[in-house]
């Protein structure tokens, strides 16, 4: 495993549409392991493949520090409710802003064995899943920011 360089806002790779994963190759397994290591090292709760320069539909999330989840070819199938709170991104270091998102999400995706699964999340988990999913379509949270982008104290 290795820590990969996190691409920052202004890098074109963060604005691109990511491609579907057809097959989980050893290279993709290494990518996912590296994404977890890179996310934990940076104290993040989620990381999407384009943030390490790979235009594939993969993200990882762990909102508790001991519940790693990988999502391959994710699809948001349901959302409801609303939550408004501060959000940050490892690609926009040292900054945060207020973003409103659904409070509940149901996501369908594939795991590392390409087995389909569904997962539900609320609050921070829902926010993280929706934030990471946006990365796969080239979107950053700053586009949804309400008010100023602030410095993290
Ligand atoms: Ni992000």
Catalytic residue flag (residue 146): no
Q: What is the pTM of this model?
A: 0.97
pLDDT at 79: 98
Distance 47 CA to ligand 1 centre (A): 6
Distance 66 CA to ligand 1 centre (A): 19
Q: Is the pLDDT of residue 153 over 80?
A: no
Alpha-carbon distance of 106 to 143, in angstroms, equals 23
Tens of pLDDT, residue by residue over 15-51, are 999 999 999 999 999 999 999 999 999 999 999 999 9
C-alpha pair distances (Å), 115 with each of 92, 108, 111, 127, 152: 32, 11, 5, 24, 39
C-alpha closest to that of 44 among 110, 91, 99, 105: 91
Tens of pLDDT, residue by residue over 132-147, are 999 999 999 999 999 9
Distance 27 CA to ligand 1 centre (A): 23
Give the DSSP letter string of 112-133: TT--EEEEEEEHHHHHHHHHHH
Q: What is the largest CA-CA distance in the chain?
A: 43
Catalytic option among 20, 23, 87, 132: 132
| Span 64-86, average pLDDT | 98
């Amino acid at each position: 495993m290795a820590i990969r360089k996190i691409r920052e806002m202004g890098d074109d790779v963060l604005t691109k549409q990511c491609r579907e994963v057809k097959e989980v190759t050893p290279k993709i397994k290494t990518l996912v392991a590296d994404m977890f290591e890179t996310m934990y090292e940076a104290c993040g709760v989620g990381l999407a493949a384009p943030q390490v320069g790979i235009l594939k539909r993969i993200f990882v999330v762990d909102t508790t520090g001991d519940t790693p989840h990988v999502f391959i070819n994710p699809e948001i199938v349901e959302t409801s409710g609303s939550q408004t709170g501060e959000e940050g991104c490892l690609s926009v270091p040292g900054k945060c802003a207020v973003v409103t998102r659904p409070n509940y999400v149901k996501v369908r995706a594939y795991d590392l064995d390409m087995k389909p699964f569904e997962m539900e999340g609320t609050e921070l988990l829902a926010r993280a899943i929706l934030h990471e999913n946006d990365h796969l379509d080239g979107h950053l949270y700053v586009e949804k920011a309400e008010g100023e982008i602030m410095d993290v104290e």
